[in-house]
Amino acid sequence: MQFFFKLTNLTDLNLFISAGQNDWVSAEQAAERAVTEDRNNVAALRLLALFTATHPPLSQLGDGGRGGSIASSIGGGDADADDDDDEDEPDGRSSSGKKGGRSSGKKRATVAQQLQTLASVMEKLEPNNAALALETAQLFSGLCLEPRHQGALEVVGHMFRRALDLLSSPQGGNFASLASSSASSDEVLAAATCDLAQIAVQRAAAAAGIGASSNSSSSGVVLRYASEAMDLYRRASKLDPSNTKALVGMIQCQVLQGSMDDASEQLEMVKVMSDGEAPDAKFLLLECRLALYAAQRDKARSAATGQSSSGKSARAALRLLEKAAKVHKRTSRAAAKGAWMGELSQGGSAGGGSASSGLCFAERAMVGAQPFVGLEIAALYLSHCEDTDPSGGFGPPSSGATSSSANGSSSSSGGRKKGGGGASSGVAGERGDALERALSVAKDLIGQVPSLVEAHFLAARATLSLDAQHPDSALKLLKRCLKVDPGFAPAHLLTATIALDYLGNPRFAQQALDTALGLDFSVRNDPKYHLARARVLAAQGQSEQALAQLVDAADILTDLKPADRAALEVGKVAL
Q: Give the tens place of pLDDT for each residue, 286-338.
A: 999 999 888 888 877 887 787 777 778 888 999 999 999 999 998 888 877 76
* 499-519 mean pLDDT: 90
Identify whether the C-beta of residue 413 lies closer than 8 Å to the C-beta of residue 426: no
Percent of the chain with pLDDT over 90: 26
Of these ranges, 114-123, 173-182, 417-426, 537-546, the one predicted with the greatest mean pLDDT is: 114-123
Mutual angle of helices 489-501 and 527-539, in 10-degree steps: 30
- The answer, yes or no, to whether residue 446 has pLDDT greater than 80, is yes
pLDDT tens digits for 510-557? 999 999 888 878 788 778 888 888 888 888 888 888 888 888 777 766
Q: Could you tell me which of 91, 103, 94 has the C-alpha nearest to residue 29?
A: 103
* 135-155 mean pLDDT: 87
Identify whether the C-beta of residue 371 lies closer than 8 Å to the C-beta of residue 452: yes
Higher pLDDT, 243 or 70: 243
Identify whether the C-beta of residue 530 lies closer than 8 Å to the C-beta of residue 490: no
- Give the rounded distance of the alpha carbon of 569 from its chain centre: 31
| pLDDT for position 378 | 94
| pLDDT for position 17 | 55
Q: Which of helix, strand or coil describes residue 410?
A: strand
| pLDDT for position 530 | 86
| pLDDT for position 443 | 92
The Cα angle at residue 160 between residues 349 and 201, in degrees rounded to 5: 115
- Give the rounded distance of the alpha carbon of 252 from its chain centre: 17
| pLDDT for position 560 | 60
| Residue 344 CB-density burial (10 A; 0-12 exposed, 13-18 middle, 19+ buried) | exposed
CA distance linking residue 416 with residue 423, whole number of Å: 7
CA dist list (Å): 389 to 15, 409, 433, 494, 569: 52, 4, 20, 16, 12
The Cα angle at residue 289 between residues 285 and 290, in degrees rounded to 5: 120
Identify whether the C-beta of residue 95 lies closer than 8 Å to the C-beta of residue 88: yes
The amino acid occupying position 564 is D
CA distance linking residue 516 with residue 499, whole number of Å: 14
pLDDT tens digits for 191-235? 899 999 998 888 887 776 655 444 444 578 888 999 999 999 999
pLDDT tens digits for 63-75? 444 443 323 333 3
- The answer, yes or no, to whether residue 248 has pLDDT greater than 50, is yes
**The residue count for the chain:** 575
CA distance linking residue 199 with residue 145, whole number of Å: 9
Q: What are phi and psi of 355, to 5 degrees?
A: -70, -20
H or E element in which residue 402 lies: strand 401-404
**Ordered DSSP codes for 321-340:** HHHHHHHHHHHHHHHHHHHH
- Give the rounded distance of the alpha carbon of 239 from its chain centre: 30
H or E element in which residue 374 lies: helix 371-384
Mean pLDDT in the chain? Answer: 74
pLDDT tens digits for 373-430? 999 999 999 888 764 333 344 444 444 444 344 343 333 333 334 334 344 333 357 7
Q: Could you tell me which of 173, 181, 137 has the C-alpha nearest to residue 155?
A: 137
* Architecture of the domain delimited by 385-574: Alpha Horseshoe (1.25)
Tell me the CB-side half-sphere exposure of residue 252, using CA atoms within 13 A.
33
CA distance linking residue 102 with residue 108, whole number of Å: 10
| pLDDT for position 19 | 57
Higher pLDDT, 320 or 346: 320
Identify whether the C-beta of residue 166 lies closer than 8 Å to the C-beta of residue 173: yes
